Amino acid sequence: MNEKGLGRKEIISILDQSKSQDFKYNRVLSSMCTYPHEIAVQAHMQFIESNMGDFGLFKGTYNLEKEVLSMLSNLLHHPDAVGYTTTGGTESNIQAIRSMRNVFLQRSKCEKPNLVVPDSAHFSFDKVSDILDVELRKASLDDNLRVSIDSVLSLIDENTIGLVGIAGSTEFGQVDPIKKLSEIAREKKIFLHIDAAFGGFVLPFLDESCEFDFMLPGVTSIAIDPHKMGLSTIPSGVLLFRSPDYLESLRADTPYLTVSTQYTLTGTRSGAAVAATYAVMKFMGKEGYRKTVSQCMELTRYLLSRLTEINIHPLVEPVMNVVALEVPEPDLIRSRLAKEYNWQVSITQNPHGLRLVIMPHVTIEMIDSFVQDLKQVLQT
Ligand code: PLP
């Protein structure tokens, strides 16, 4: 750091330059984030100094958090759910499994607890395993790239603390057979965490209904991210538990704050993101999200029909606005699309393909232009 500060103009100029090196979302087909809604940005700025880590000082923001949790608990069919706003899916997943492990270990002695997750689980579960010293058992996928129930059953033993189901997998956007997982969890008396970080703001607003939430009695916790399809600002995640016992197992004493206990992973937490989530959810209402999801799904179908014209097909029929495509040499295609046409797309591992996420910033013009560029890359 310099002894003397820089002038405002100089700093703004450096910021502008840095910003110009960032990708604009109009060339991004790989991200599960998008431009936040303008009302979320306004709320974020209004609450910029608010710290939910010491919410006794920020009672107004705390009340907004309670409202957000209440809106999401109702959306996910369990008005009595408890939880808190996290920094996103990773933190929600860590805390859900931490609670699972703590409650399990309170009930029974176990040297090496294990967790059964689908092979399609987000890499945050590898972090979970490392941080919490819980063995990760990866269940294989079926032909539709959803977890195989036989594989899940074969991995459960007396040290299994719980199961994870994905409602909108990162790579394929597929939804695991959560009803079946719920039945297994109930039968085996183990926990079931649902990672709906992406799908939580999609599935309730699709035309076709899908059972993935607390409506299923075996589901004990859910991660849902407002900073993805919820159109809130980053960092906005939410973790909800069916019962207060699970949240209680995360309790830490906080003697020097205005409140005496915390359940969160981080200490200082953004109240701005809480206000942003509140504002955008109130503004959009179910009707607004239904419209957004419907537009994304319409564009997803349009993309698929345009790709058929160039003989490119999905690896699996998309359930939501995530598309995995069968292309020759996906890594090469991806890097050529980036180098020659400035497109950002990603890849799936197994099966190997080209992955596109049709977020609310995607337009029909973007899709037309992308398909034309992909055609060029494939032909040369
Ligand atoms: N879970 C799923 C299904 C995801 O798709 C992602 C991110 O894309 C995460 C968890 C992690 O979320 P975050 O990056 O907000 O921590």
pLDDT, the chain, mean: 97
Q: Is the CB of 88 under 6 A from ligand 1?
A: yes
Q: Give tens-digit pLDDT for 49-104.
A: 999 999 999 999 999 999 999 999 999 999 999 999 999 999 999 999 999 999 99
Residue nearest to atom 15 of ligand 1 (CA): 88
pLDDT at 6 over 80: yes
In this structure, the strands spanning 346-348 and 353-357 are antiparallel
CA of 88 to the centre of ligand 1 (A): 7
What are the structure tokens assigned to 168, written together? Answer: 């909108």
Q: Tell me what pLDDT residue 215 has.
A: 98
Average pLDDT over residues 109-133: 96
Determine which helix (DSSP H) or strand (DSSP E) holds 117, and give its type and residue range. strand 114-118
* Long-range contacts of the stretch 102-105 (C-beta < 8 A, 24+): 102/249, 102/250, 103/191, 103/245, 103/246, 103/249, 104/161, 104/162, 104/190, 104/191
CA of 170 to the centre of ligand 1 (A): 7
Q: Give tens-digit pLDDT for 330-376.
A: 999 999 999 999 999 999 999 999 999 999 999 999 999 999 999 99
C-beta separation of 305 from 318 below 8 A: no
Compute how many other C-beta atoms are within 10 angstroms of the C-beta atom of residue 369.
15
Residue 254: band (very low, low, confident or very high) from pLDDT cuts 50, 70, 90: confident
Residue nearest to atom 9 of ligand 1 (CA): 89
Q: Report the percentage of the chain scoring pLDDT > 70.
A: 100
Residue 259: band (very low, low, confident or very high) from pLDDT cuts 50, 70, 90: confident
The C-alpha R_g of the chain, in whole angstroms, comes to 22
Region class of 320: left (phi > 0), else alpha (psi between -120 and 50), else beta: beta
Q: Is the CB of 89 under 6 A from ligand 1?
A: yes
Q: What is the 3-state secondary structure (H, E, C) of 257-306?
A: CCCCEECCCCCCCEHHHHHHHHHHHHHHHHHHHHHHHHHHHHHHHHHHHH
ipTM of the complex: 0.99
Q: Tell me what pLDDT residue 261 has.
A: 87
Asked whether the whole model's pTM tops 0.80, one would answer: yes
Q: Give tens-digit pLDDT for 209-239.
A: 899 999 999 999 999 999 999 999 999 999 9
Q: Is the CB of 195 under 6 A from ligand 1?
A: yes
Q: Tell me what pLDDT residue 357 has.
A: 98
CA of 121 to the centre of ligand 1 (A): 10
Compute how many other C-beta atoms are within 10 angstroms of the C-beta atom of residue 74.
11
Q: Is the CB of 174 under 6 A from ligand 1?
A: no
In this structure, the strands spanning 114-118 and 135-139 are parallel
Residue nearest to atom 4 of ligand 1 (CA): 170
